[in-house]
């Protein structure tokens, strides 16, 4: 009779179980590796498909960003240069640093009591106020006006600075209304219009140059120093541009009401 050896039987069973376990582990490991390879392949495929779209999005985003930065820079430059509206004289304007003296006792050809010389100086100042402009200039500026009758195809316009100067001249005449004969019953209303027009224009084109003060003799109140540096438009550059386009509005060959025969 064969004897029973539990240790040998157990050893064979353990060996068999170990082989089965090792075989199962190898199969599981192989399956895991294959699964990882499959997943990696799927991710690679997805990235290959997604990359063109990603680069397209990146290109569009970059172009949009460049456009925004460029527009912002142009807008900032436009704002800093004061070019929020179109005017045909813009490219002809020259800026300069100028010393202005408006001291009470300081004289100039446009200041003082009425005289033939002073009146002539004011007439010369306004002689080029009325100018011809093109239909394109009006369209760019968003301004409507009337055509001239001189066959030029141009339209009637005036630079606003000349309107402000006209208003100053009118106020000056009103100050000396016992001398000038252009004072009419409606003149106070006209003068009020001119004062408000100049006021609005001064606030619109605010001169931010600083004015200092000084002590004068024994006065207990400091006096303003009316002489100082300012950033100015060179007036000759405006005169040159306007003189090349000026016309006489009193000549009906240039300007005539449509109802006139």
pLDDT at 84 over 70: yes
pLDDT at 127 over 80: yes
Kindly give, in sequence order, each residue whose CB lies less than 8 Å from that of residue 71, ignoring residues fewer than 6 positions away: none
* Per-residue model confidence (pLDDT) at position 253: 85
Burial class (CB in 10 A: 0-12, 13-18, 19+), 131: buried
Question: What pTM did the predictor assign?
Answer: 0.68
Domain boundaries of the chain, sorted by first residue: 10-79, 90-243
Between helices 160-175 and 116-126, what is the axis angle to 10°?
Answer: 160
Among residues of the chain, what percentage have pLDDT more than 70?
69
Most confident among 41-55, 82-96, 112-126, 215-229 (mean pLDDT): 112-126
pLDDT at 5 over 50: no
Phi, psi values for residue 194, rounded to 5° = -65, -40
pLDDT at 260 over 80: no
Q: Cα(126)–Cα(97) distance, rounded to whole angstroms?
A: 23
Among residues of the chain, what percentage have pLDDT more than 90?
56
Q: For residues 89-103, give the mean pLDDT.
A: 95
Q: Which of 199, 223, 204 is nearest to 105 (CA)?
A: 223
């Amino acid at each position: 009779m064969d004897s029973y050896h539990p240790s040998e039987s157990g050893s064979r069973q353990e060996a068999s179980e170990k082989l089965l376990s090792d075989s199962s582990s190898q199969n599981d490991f192989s399956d895991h590796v294959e699964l990882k390879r499959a997943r990696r392949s799927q991710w690679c495929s997805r990235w290959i498909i997604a990359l063109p779209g990603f680069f397209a999005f990146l290109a569009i985003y970059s172009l949009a960003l460049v456009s925004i930065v460029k527009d912002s820079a142009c807008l900032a430059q436009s704002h800093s240069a004061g070019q929020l509206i179109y005017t045909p004289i813009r490219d002809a304007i020259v800026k300069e640093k100028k010393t202005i003296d408006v001291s009470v006792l300081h004289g100039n050809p446009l200041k003082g009591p009425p005289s033939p010389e002073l009146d002539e100086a004011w007439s010369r100042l306004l002689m080029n106020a009325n100018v011809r402009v093109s239909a394109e200039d009006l369209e760019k500026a968003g301004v409507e006006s009337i055509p001239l009758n001189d066959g030029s195809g141009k339209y009637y316009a005036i630079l606003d600075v000349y309107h402000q100067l006209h208003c100053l001249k009118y106020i000056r005449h009103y100050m000396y209304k016992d001398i000038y004969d252009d004072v009419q019953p409606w003149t106070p209303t006209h003068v009020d219009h001119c004062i408000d027009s100049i006021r609005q224009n001064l606030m619109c084109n605010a001169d931010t140059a600083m004015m200092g003060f000084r002590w004068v003799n024994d006065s207990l109140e400091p006096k303003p120093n009316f002489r100082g540096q300012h950033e100015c438009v060179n007036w000759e550059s405006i005169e040159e541009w306007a003189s090349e386009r000026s016309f006489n509005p009193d000549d009906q060959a240039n300007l005539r009401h449509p109802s006139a025969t």
